[in-house]
Structure 1
């Protein structure tokens, strides 16, 4: 079972969200299905793989809808982010398994219909088949004898504003997000309060890939039910604070690097100054020796001059 399926179940498994989705799409917003009248149901379909091994698939979400002791229907939700060329086969398998479960239930009193809807969250239109007959080639003469099975697909990103307003649960925020992103490529957060905050944020982070929702899961909201605007504002503020800390850290690193560079320069200058001082001392010593030599030569010249003056010659 994929990660997206799991988070979708966490959100849609809440009866208020599930009933709201069914009421919005099936009953045009009328509060026909009550959350208190829903009971979770696990529906699995079995099939044989290429090597004959038995495999089992569990549908995304299914619930019994009953009023009192009277069963009304089995309702199923399937979620898709991309068109699936095998979707009609999958749904008929799930629905068939739901009918079979009633057949095998000895304690069941009365049979009820099975209704499945597919919620498609892609940005483009659904391009996959919508019925069994679109998937198979029917030989001539058999058309009227082959039963069809049609999907009820709802393209969330292409809902109208009026359709979005039909929803009253957290699903309205979900629908509003996908509609806005499809139309404007941007999202202005809704001020509608969120009831199931954690499930909503997990759903949005996985389904949209928007890291703000992932970051929002780490943000502690204040008391009460927050709205998406407040949550994303807190995420932004958290990001600003992290940015400030990061800049402070970078400044500390820069200061340390600057101080190290200055210390290195100072050490080099000190060594150079010492070398110059040593060189100056050597030059001074050399100058002194040269001065002494010049003085000696001058003294010798004067002595020779005196000897010559007094006619004193060396042997």
Structure 2
């Protein structure tokens, strides 16, 4: 994804969301990790390249304290595109976390490190390397001497419906969005309340590369109950306002329909929902959509 903005990490950094993600993906929804058991971890580590010390940063990292494992470091990496070197990147993060345990300040504690790679691509499955062996060009004679390393990859858009239902935090809405887009290419918003509105909109904006999610935050932040229906209504309304500000001389109703066409074309909403909002039959709406976008 290239350089990541801080806002992209803000939702997953929240302890309730972080614990929810790990509990569902690693423990089938069992409440193994509690939000209060999580402690902030420094996501930064260093490595040497061309004689210079450089810094690397994983997306989100936490320490987990419990009675069985005194201290465990769990990190999350977000990806919207496949990356050949992802196993190398993950092993470098994990290696740095293990190297840090050599410090006398660590009081001889030794703890496991677990990294989760969350892949949000919905048009194609992850086909790039998932293991260290697949990332390297290893002569056959040496392969048995090179330890393999498999990253924990989770393709969010390909989660089963039963898995999505296990999420209890706002991440359920994120997963549901990408699963729907993978299945139909369209999105029908649920009515579940968004708890962390700003963080949720920031993550959706970063993952979809659609600034409209963050542009409408001021319009929804004061509302008593915000859900994805509210968000899409505000996106639609803001689009109309922007169109009018640019001097598009169309009636309000015509402008609204144009925005609905745009939302369906971009995959933000499905044609059935858009037709309902436009007061048209699905057949008539799709005819106008085809005329507009071909």
Interval of TM-score (by shorter of Structure 1 and Structure 2): 0.7 to 0.9
CA offset digits 1:252-283 (Å, max 9, x no partner): xxxxxxxxxxxxxxxxxxxxxxxxxxxxxxxx
Report the 3-state secondary structure (helix = DSSP H, G, I; strand = E; otherwise coil) of the residue aligned with 2:219: coil
Counterpart position of 2:13: 13
Q: What SS does the corresponding residue of 2:203 show, helix, strand or coil?
A: helix
Q: Of the two structures, which has the highest relative contact order with CA contacts closer than 8 Å and spacing of 6 or more?
A: 2
Q: Which residue of 1 aligns with 2:109?
A: 110
Residue 165 (structure 1) aligns with: 165
Is 1:236–2:252 an aligned residue pair? no
Give 1:119 deviation, angstroms. 0.2
Query: How far does the alpha carbon of each residue in 1:204-231 deviate from its partner, in whole angstroms, 9 at most, with x for none?
Result: 1121133431332231344434111122
- For residues 105-184 of structure 1, what are the structure 2 equivalents within 5 Å? 105-108=104-107, 110-123=109-122, 124-184=124-184
TM-score by length of 1: 0.72
The DSSP-based 3-state class of the residue aligned with 1:224 is coil
Contact 2:84 2:129 in 1 (8 A): yes
Classify the secondary structure of the residue corresponding to 2:169: coil
* Cα 1:130/1:69, change in 2 over 3 Å: closer
SS at match of 2:65: strand
**1:36-58 deviations in Å (ceiling 9; x for gaps):** 00011014333333x42221101
- Contact 2:65 / 2:72 at 8 angstroms: preserved in 1? yes
Unaligned runs of 5+ in 2: 252-294
Aligned residues: 250
Alignment of 1:90-101 (within 5 A): 90-101=89-100
Query: Does the residue aligned with 2:141 lie in a helix, a strand or coil?
Result: coil
Q: Does 1:66 align with 2:65?
A: yes
Kindly indicate whether the alpha-carbon contact (under 8 Å) linking 1:43 and 1:98 is maintained by their aligned counterparts in 2.
Answer: no
Following superposition, the deviation at residue 75 of structure 1 comes to: 0.5
Does the Cα contact within 8 Å between 2:216 and 2:238 map onto a contact in 1? no
Classify the secondary structure of the residue corresponding to 1:165: helix
> SS state of the match for residue 56, structure 1?
strand
Distance in 2 between residues matched to 1:55 and 1:180, nearest whole Å: 40
Contact 1:212–1:232 (Cα < 8 Å) also in 2: no
Deviation at 1:195, TM superposition (A): 1.1
RMSD, aligned CA: 2.6
TM-score if structure 2 supplies the norm length?
A: 0.77
Change (3 A) 1:242 1:154: same
**Where do 5+ consecutive residues of structure 1 fail to align?**
252-315
Distance 1:144 1:249 in 2: 70
Deviation at 1:249, TM superposition (A): 7.6
CA deviation map 1:45-88 (0-9, x unaligned)? 33333x42221101111100002796241111111111111111
The within-5 A match list for 1:5-84 is 5-49=5-49, 51-67=50-66, 71-84=70-83
Structure with higher Rg: it is 1
